[in-house]
Structure 1
Amino acid sequence: MLLPSQPISSALSQRLDLRREAGLLRQLRTADNLVDFCSNDYLGLARSPALRAAIQQADADWATVRTGATGSRLLAGQTDLANEVEQELAQLYKTETALIFNSGYDANIGLLACLPQAGDTLLTDELIHASMIDGARLSYATRQRFRHNDLAHLETLLRSAAESAGQVFVAVESLYSMDGDLAPLRALTNLCEQYGAVLLVDEAHATGVYGPNGEGLVVALGLQERVFARVHTFGKALGVHGAAVVGSALLRDYLINFARPFIYSTALPPHSLLAIRCAHKQLRIQSASRQQLQDRLRLFRQLVTDQLPGSTWTDSLSPIQCLIVPGNEQARRVAQQAQGAGFDVRAILSPTVPVGQERLRICIHAFNTETEITRLVEILAGHL
């Protein structure tokens, strides 16, 4: 236990030393020389020459526009361009309105912190993203967690919450970032409607990957009229930056008035807005990339079945494939073997995941070649 009189430098050093001794010290490093099996760039748009050229041309066309937003959107940062891009996003995501936030983290914090109020109940899947957890912590609502994708447990909590006077909210991800599995969105929607609960869905990892034009899993399932709010993040499959909360005009007006990350953040600059517009234009013509992603995923899963028959994987049909390697040291060792062979594969260690559930989180991309995928599976088979 640190004493209040200790100098701050000593306190910080001690905390870092404890993390280092536990083998959990986080460090920043590049992996430019490794084959990417780590990033969320599922369609390869972040490295797309076509998208880069489109953004450069858009920037040139807007050459006379200021380079920075100069303030929040409630002050000097509001532009016609922001309104136009949001209208385009609303059309693509098949909803009434969209409101752009600076990141998916900002969007989730803003939505969950301001929507559920004191006296309300917020029910969250136990595996929601850290940004959703932090937003829930900032809310004055009563929060309860339900077991991951466990509809029976959720219904028990819904039945209990229905006895209170407040509104009930349910928050989930459509595609979970650590296990790579999908939420049972149809059943969740039915259950929320049965109990009068409001459903909030983070589509961060599903955006670009699912849906006729990459609109996400909610649109792919035709549920867009039944889900109150969705968060779409643009820094993953779209290869740019920023995010948007999509939903009704009423929701947009409410967020403009009460979502603190939106109110008090300097708005995205014109370059970022143009990049979001260009990325979504590219998304409409990426059906071949989405199909190639699915082809590469099927190849990976078949090779794993053939060459790693005794291995344990999370139940994922998504591009996020997780190999369970219990123990931090063992998971780190296998990841280092893959990295030594030229593949950027990262270990996810406890306490980020539960003890015994340490894993390699392997992301499959449309741009990964069959040779790269085959070689990666051979490396894993040789070191497990």
Structure 2
Amino acid sequence: MPHNNIDLYSEQLDFLRNENQYRVLKSSTGYNFINFSSNDYLGISTNKVLLKEFLSKTDLDKTQFGSCASRLMTGNYEEYFQLEELIAKAYNKENVLFFNSGYHANIGILPAISKKGDLIISDKLNHASIIDGLKLSPADFTRYRHNDIEHLKSILEKKAHLYNNIFIVTESIFSMDGDIAPLKELVELKKRFETFLYVDEAHALGTHGKKGLGICEALGIIDDVDFIVGTFGKTMNSIGAYVACSRVFKEYLVNSMRSFIYTTSLPPINIKWNLHVFPYIMQADKEREALFNNIKLLKELMSYSGLSIPSETQILPIIIGDSGKTIQLSDYLFKKGFIIMPVRPPTVPKNSSRLRISMSASHTENEIKSLTSNLLDCDLQQ
């Protein structure tokens, strides 16, 4: 029997094709389409004024475009300290630690801080990066039904006395449904059972809160959350992520987090851009207002035709169900000039394939009206 049977992989690819779960890489350049699949919630990617301001104050001749080492070797530039201090001050947290991406953060933090004898309790619909972190952790883990406080409470009542440290983990805005976690109730349970609370604010950073710091800020619970994760790869049109936490946890992560220790750091040019754009999103009140006006408009236009979208955030899913039909609808909209990518299993549960609309402050009223009209025509043609 051969031990290098490539046919097994070809068969699996055929299976994915038959299940309408096969994926291909498509170019995002060279097209003049209206993008409703981007995480560019405040329109920063098209903000030429912001970019020109950055370039005018950045001496490119003295800026490195590569770091050549990890942060613990020679890749820890002064810009990193400046950025971490800036973010920590914004949150009024003791410390912030910066990472290469949200994925690096979520696959590394939990495995580093949890041990055998600990328990991680994760929302059922948490992002794949969190799930991967759970699998890498030496701790036990279980999942509670999505946003189900009573189920989480029952798990804590049954199991809390069996473990040392317990970590409750959730996103604040869930990436596929656009719904918001019951964070105040989670804080109450955290206090009652004396656990740690870990909140991923990836999709709330920039869009929610007076300073755009997320749902924790909007609810006034920043001080009650032990680990707040934010990412620069979405609203801020950049790259990188961070965790706002205590001094002890930052030092512990620097000494134990494998996805932090064993990776080349981001180039200083990226960190300089982050230093430029983070203060901008904290003052982007007009952009946040425009974003939520756009959300309201699309929901109203869709509701006039009998289609309700329950999400109150910038992530507005239209559940289709069948993967094949979802692909057909996405292709139809693409021909009409709109990019709305189909989201299918395993990213979402079986029979819940969807068109995931991501709203931006930069979308115009005419673009939203045109999208709505084509969406409704699209449904009529299926």
TM-score by length of 1: 0.94
Matched, 1:50 2:49: yes
Do the aligned residues in 2 keep the contact of 1:44 with 1:367 (CA within 8 Å)?
A: yes
Q: How far is 1:64 from its partner? A: 2.5
Do the aligned residues in 2 keep the contact of 1:338 with 1:345 (CA within 8 Å)?
A: yes
Change (3 A) 1:230 1:8: farther
Q: How far is 1:54 from its partner? A: 3.2
Q: Percent identity?
A: 34
Q: How far is 1:290 from its partner? A: 0.6
2:82 alignment partner, SS class: helix
Change (3 A) 1:111 1:56: same
**Could you give the per-residue CA deviations for residues 257-276 of structure 1, whole angstroms, max 9, x where no partner exists?**
11111111111110011011
Partner of 2:105: 107
Matched, 1:16 2:13: yes
The number of residue pairs the alignment matches comes to 377
**Could you give the per-residue CA deviations for residues 268-318 of structure 1, whole angstroms, max 9, x where no partner exists?**
1100110110111221331100100011111111111102x1x364x3100
How does 1:1-384 map onto structure 2 within 5 Å?
5-31=2-28, 32-60=31-59, 63-307=61-305, 309=306, 311=307, 313=309, 315-384=310-379
Do the aligned residues in 1 keep the contact of 2:63 with 2:269 (CA within 8 Å)?
A: no
Q: How far is 1:50 from its partner? A: 2.3
Q: Distance in 1 between matches of 2:229 and 2:137?
A: 17
Change (3 A) 1:378 1:69: same
Q: How far is 1:153 from its partner? A: 0.1
Q: How far is 1:65 from its partner? A: 4.3
2:97 alignment partner, SS class: strand
Q: Distance in 2 between matches of 1:196 and 1:271?
A: 41
Q: Distance in 2 between matches of 1:134 and 1:50?
A: 39
1:281 alignment partner, SS class: helix
Q: How far is 1:183 from its partner? A: 0.3
Do the aligned residues in 1 keep the contact of 2:342 with 2:354 (CA within 8 Å)?
A: yes
TM-score by length of 2: 0.95
Do the aligned residues in 2 keep the contact of 1:207 with 1:215 (CA within 8 Å)?
A: yes
Q: Which amino acid aligns with 2:303?
A: T
Q: Which amino acid aligns with 1:358?
A: S
Q: Distance in 1 between matches of 2:298 and 2:63?
A: 46
Unaligned runs of 5+ in 2: none
Do the aligned residues in 1 keep the contact of 2:88 with 2:96 (CA within 8 Å)?
A: yes
Do the aligned residues in 1 keep the contact of 2:298 with 2:369 (CA within 8 Å)?
A: yes
Question: What value does the CA root-mean-square deviation take over the aligned residues?
Answer: 1.5
Greater displacement, 104-113 / 9-18: 9-18
2:37 alignment partner, SS class: coil
Unaligned runs of 5+ in 1: none
Q: How far is 1:219 from its partner? A: 1.2
Q: Which amino acid aligns with 1:25?
A: Y
Do the aligned residues in 2 keep the contact of 1:109 with 1:261 (CA within 8 Å)?
A: yes
Q: Distance in 2 between matches of 1:132 and 1:266?
A: 22
Q: How far is 1:8 from its partner? A: 4.7
Do the aligned residues in 2 keep the contact of 1:312 with 1:324 (CA within 8 Å)?
A: no
Greater displacement, 197-206 / 328-337: 328-337
Greater displacement, 225-234 / 156-165: 156-165
Q: Distance in 2 between matches of 1:202 and 1:165?
A: 23
1:99 alignment partner, SS class: strand
Q: Distance in 1 between matches of 2:46 and 2:219?
A: 29
